[in-house]
Chains A and B, each alone.
Chain A
């Protein structure tokens, strides 16, 4: 077994355990931190694929920004943090059964499709050509419209946040 496989197995195991813990621990804060660990595991998987750009972006966007946001929301809603109820309802077994049935159904359906058995593909020798990614994002025949629409959406969110936060009575803040 090569080192890559060993590291992959360890990382995959940690990621899966962390994902399960995210939805099953009682304290919200701990759930958020388990989520951070799971996302970190995904970042390591990206790094193993030698796409360090995606690994770093994964850390930057998910762990940095979103994790801090989650932790903020958890910390500011104190009552939820202290809630010591069971995180599951009485019908958890029903949900698990449904999920299992859907999973088995999907696997059975998809097994008829040939893309389900991936042949080993040659990895692109320059997997992280960041310049190509950047050019594609601003290329008129590439992804310039989705890119601009996304930026417009973010701008709208920014303006909305300012509008909500601003003091319209003209008083001193």
Chain B
């Protein structure tokens, strides 16, 4: 979805539930087949992720990847930085960022799906990445202190927002002055009708 705000007739609470339900299903059964792509082969072949880097991550995290771009291709986090991944899912980008910031940095993943967060936490533990922290939260009210973050990542999540201006303001709030945002998201070339903008299935894609 490209519009910055949702149609007034859309039940935003129901929308949030539909989005959470979709990604809970991906977390519980990544191989079930979805109307969007998932997994490490997709990440490498379509989005340019490094295959060796993906192979070094736990399979539960790469199998549940459903991003739409490659935000870390815009720049690698620096050692000791604080990184927040908004909508971290099962943690693919979060884990790559955690390795880059090292043990004295922090990599905080925020997601609305408990199942996804559990996968991300388990993968971080398996890799011994103690700098990783998963926080359950909403991209419209990030559970992150103001001006505390060097780099915000997000991959395929902001298009799910019913209030993108609020989501952008939240990211702006948590970044320190001079902090960077590296996001990947979907855009559309054609204007969307109200009927399409009110379709829960398309919002949750």
> Do these two chains interact?
no
Residues in B lying within 8 Å of A, measured CB to CB = none
Residues in A lying within 8 Å of B, measured CB to CB = none
